[in-house]
Amino acid sequence: MTAQEIALKSYELFKNGDMAGIKALCHDDYTMTLNGMHVLSGTYHGADSFIQDMLANIPAALPNFSLEVIDSFGSEDGSKAFTILDAKADGLKAVFGHYMRCEDGKLIEFIAFDDSQKMAHAMQAVV
């Protein structure tokens, strides 16, 4: 699969709550970075940290959170993808941009260019 196909698959798995499926898409050296100054911000090293320390905390931080893919494109060599998404939660309506890079057919890097100011506002907290 190309990075674009893997990225789109990851959103499908996230929507369905399939954390084992997400983990299976991730490289052993996977890192995810979420910018901002809120409880979900940080760099997560490894799929387990991403799932347990970030994804598992979304329901408490952003109740009724959902993502809808608006557009996506991949690099010519198939190793990189960028996705534009509509993000919604209680108190949140924003457009997010996600960059993903693959190596050996697995996600190795994910940088979320999310609207961290809107996220922090929806969480009613900045750390």
Task: Work out the mean pLDDT of the chain and round it to a whole number.
Answer: 96
Residue 125's identity, in one-letter code, is: A
CATH of the domain at 101: 3.10.450.50
**pLDDT (tens digit, 9 = 90+) per residue, 40-83?**
999 999 999 999 999 999 999 999 999 999 999 999 999 999 99
Supply 63's token pair: 């109740």
| Res. 95: pLDDT tops 70 | yes
pLDDT at res. 127:
53
**Structural domain boundaries, residue 44:** 3-123
Q: How many domains does the chain have?
A: 1
pTM: 0.92
Confidence tier at 116 by pLDDT (50, 70, 90):
confident
**Per mean pLDDT, which range of 12-16, 32-36, 117-121 is the poorest?**
117-121
Tell me how long the chain is: 127
